[in-house]
């Protein structure tokens, strides 16, 4: 793939075009909607509708908006999309406060047609619906058999459809009846969003253009041990930021003052650095830091060398020299994977490093010089705040699933499609 082909927005390109745009391949182990005959068929479509609400209305329709291409394509191929989704954590019992009925108005606005909401589905009722119907089944987690991946639940769901389409990558790390069990019982495929997520991650980690750089930020090393251990074997450079960078600085014998740091994890940090050296992966840590006496908006702060943090202050961001070094690494890279902020991005001025690094990655992506994939945790919020998200090649809407994929773990929902 040529450099000028890299800046592709997977959110607006569909089907085979999306596959070719990212990595020139369409021979994945799972099928897509393009491979399926859907005419006249009921298509069980697992989606992510676990959206934020204010009690009566959906307050952020991002997840709803991102499933529209799948619903539209199923309809265009003559199928009837029958959506399966969870909402909240009802713990296996019906709970009116967690009914999916609340998302119906926003869903209807997004797909541009009426959505039939069904509390107790049966095959005959679904078959009686007029052509062009769009169906949403009540919260799958209202049954304890869902999260238990009970074969009886999977069999019941399979009886409602002719084809299974999984468009919920964000739930693919869960082996539930609606994400994994039912996939074995029907002809199956990935929906457009699932397809985009998998192809983006395939391009970034499985068969990337090198050099590959990863940015990993966040508060704790302990929460990302598997991630760090996997990445040092797969990337050429690893930028570590946020609170976990303080732990790595402490592991090098530096005084990090009152900074958030896991001092009991310094041996682990040193082991990760040793593993990185063996794998010829360069670890990039801050060389200068922004320190303050309190975690507060506009707090008085100083920028000092990484080995000069005053004992009464805390490190809240990487300094300008560190950002310049990160920019150099980005300049030499062909692929970027980003998970987590470089500092306390929620408040100024400790968002400076994240904002500057994100802006640089965005510029390189716009210029066709970098494939940039980001997701998980606070990453999307940080990149949105930096005004850089729209220019990244792909922003994953998944949280835990994105992280588990980066950790090298098998995602049950994906594996079921691959075996399908």
Residues 244 and 97 in one domain: no
Q: What is the pTM of this model?
A: 0.80
What CA–CA distances, in Å, run from 363 to 71, 168, 360?
33, 30, 5
pLDDT in tens, 375-401: 876 888 899 999 999 999 999 878 788
The total domain count for the chain is 2
Per-residue model confidence (pLDDT) at position 37: 97
Among 190, 219, 241, residue at a domain's last position: 190
Residues 159 and 218 in one domain: no
Residues 177 and 208 in one domain: no
Q: Residue 196 contacts by C-beta under 8 Å, 6 or more apart in sequence?
A: 10, 11, 18, 394
Orientation of helix 320-332 relative to helix 352-366, angle to 10°: 20
Q: Residue 198 contacts by C-beta under 8 Å, 6 or more apart in sequence?
A: 28, 30, 169, 190, 414
**How many CB atoms are closer than 10 A to CB 380?**
21
- For residues 137-161, average pLDDT: 98
Among 157, 190, 223, residue at a domain's last position: 190
Whether 17 shows a pLDDT value over 80: the answer reads no
Residue 126, CB-side half-sphere exposure with 13 Å CA sphere: 27
- pLDDT, mean over the chain: 90
Closest by CA to 329, choosing from 303, 307, 361, is: 361
Closest by CA to 8, choosing from 235, 236, 203, is: 203
The catalytic residue among 15, 368, 400, 408 is 400
What is d(CA 341, CA 240) in angstroms, rounded to the nearest whole number? 9
Is 23 inside any structural domain? no
Residues 171 and 226 in one domain: no
- Annotated active-site residue 400? The verdict is yes
Collapsing DSSP to helix, strand or coil, 53 comes out as strand
Residues 204 and 296 in one domain: yes
Among 144, 173, 190, residue at a domain's last position: 190
**301-305 and 288-292 strand pairing:** antiparallel
What percent of the chain has a predicted confidence (pLDDT) above 70? 93
Closest by CA to 71, choosing from 132, 141, 143, is: 132
Which domain range does residue 66 map to? 33-190
Residues 263 and 315 in one domain: yes
The catalytic residue among 63, 199, 224, 234 is 63
The catalytic residue among 41, 77, 220, 275 is 220
Residues 38 and 147 in one domain: yes
- Annotated active-site residue 220? The verdict is yes
What tokens appear for 254 in the block? 């530096």
Residues 227 and 123 in one domain: no
Q: What CATH number is attached to the domain comprising 48?
A: 3.40.50.1260
- Annotated active-site residue 63? The verdict is yes
Is 135 inside any structural domain? yes
The catalytic residue among 191, 257, 376, 377 is 377
Is 228 inside any structural domain? yes
Residues 256 and 319 in one domain: yes
pLDDT in tens, 113-140: 999 999 999 999 999 999 999 999 999 9
Residues 157 and 222 in one domain: no
- Annotated active-site residue 399? The verdict is no
- Grade residue 28 by pLDDT with cuts at 50, 70 and 90: low
Is 13 inside any structural domain? no
Is 16 inside any structural domain? no
Is 24 inside any structural domain? no
Residues 300 and 230 in one domain: yes
Is 7 inside any structural domain? no
Residues 375 and 347 in one domain: yes
Is 323 inside any structural domain? yes
């Amino acid at each position: 793939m040529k450099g000028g082909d890299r800046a592709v927005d997977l959110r607006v390109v569909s089907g085979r075009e999306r596959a070719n745009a990212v990595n020139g391949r369409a021979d994945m182990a799972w099928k897509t909607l393009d491979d399926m005959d859907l005419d006249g068929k009921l298509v069980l479509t697992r989606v992510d509708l676990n959206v934020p609400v204010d009690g009566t209305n959906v307050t952020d329709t991002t997840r709803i908006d991102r499933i529209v291409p799948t619903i539209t394509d199923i309809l265009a191929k003559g199928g009837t999309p029958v959506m399966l989704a969870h909402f909240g954590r009802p713990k296996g019992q019906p709970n009116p406060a967690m009914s999916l009925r609340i998302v119906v108005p926003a869903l209807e606005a997004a797909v541009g047609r009426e959505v039939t909401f069904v509390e107790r589905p049966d095959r005959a009722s679904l078959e009686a619906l007029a052509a062009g119907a769009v169906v949403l089944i009540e919260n799958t987690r209202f049954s304890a058999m869902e999260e238990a991946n009970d074969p009886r639940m999977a069999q019941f769901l399979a009886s409602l459809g002719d084809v299974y389409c999984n468009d919920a990558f964000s739930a693919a790390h869960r082996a539930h009846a609606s994400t994994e069990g039912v996939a074995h019982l029907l002809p199956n495929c990935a929906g457009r969003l699932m397809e985009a997520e998998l192809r983006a991650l395939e391009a970034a980690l499985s068969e990337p253009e090198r050099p590959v750089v990863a940015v990993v930020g966040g508060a704790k090393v302990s929460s990302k041990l598997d991630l760090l251990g996997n990445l040092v074997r797969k990337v050429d450079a690893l930028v570590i930021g946020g609170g976990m960078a303080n732990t790595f600085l402490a592991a090098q014998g530096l005084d990090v003052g009152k900074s958030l740091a896991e001092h009991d994890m310094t041996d682990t940090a040193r082991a990760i650095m040793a593993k990185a050296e063996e794998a010829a992966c360069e670890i990039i840590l801050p060389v200068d830091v922004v320190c303050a006496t309190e975690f507060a908006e506009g707090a008085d702060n100083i920028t000092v060398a990484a080995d000069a943090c005053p004992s009464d202050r805390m490190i809240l961001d990487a300094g300008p020299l560190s950002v310049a070094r990160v920019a150099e690494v980005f300049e030499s890279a062909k692929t970027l994977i980003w998970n987590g902020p470089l500092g306390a991005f929620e408040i100024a001025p400790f968002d400076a490093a994240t904002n500057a690094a994100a802006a640089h990655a965005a510029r390189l992506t716009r210029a066709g010089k970098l494939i940039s994939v980001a997701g998980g945790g606070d990453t999307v919020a940080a990149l949105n705040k930096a005004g850089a998200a729209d220019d990244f090649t792909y922003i994953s809407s998944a949280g835990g699933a994105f992280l588990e994929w980066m950790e090298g773990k098998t995602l049950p929902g994906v594996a079921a499609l691959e075996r399908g």
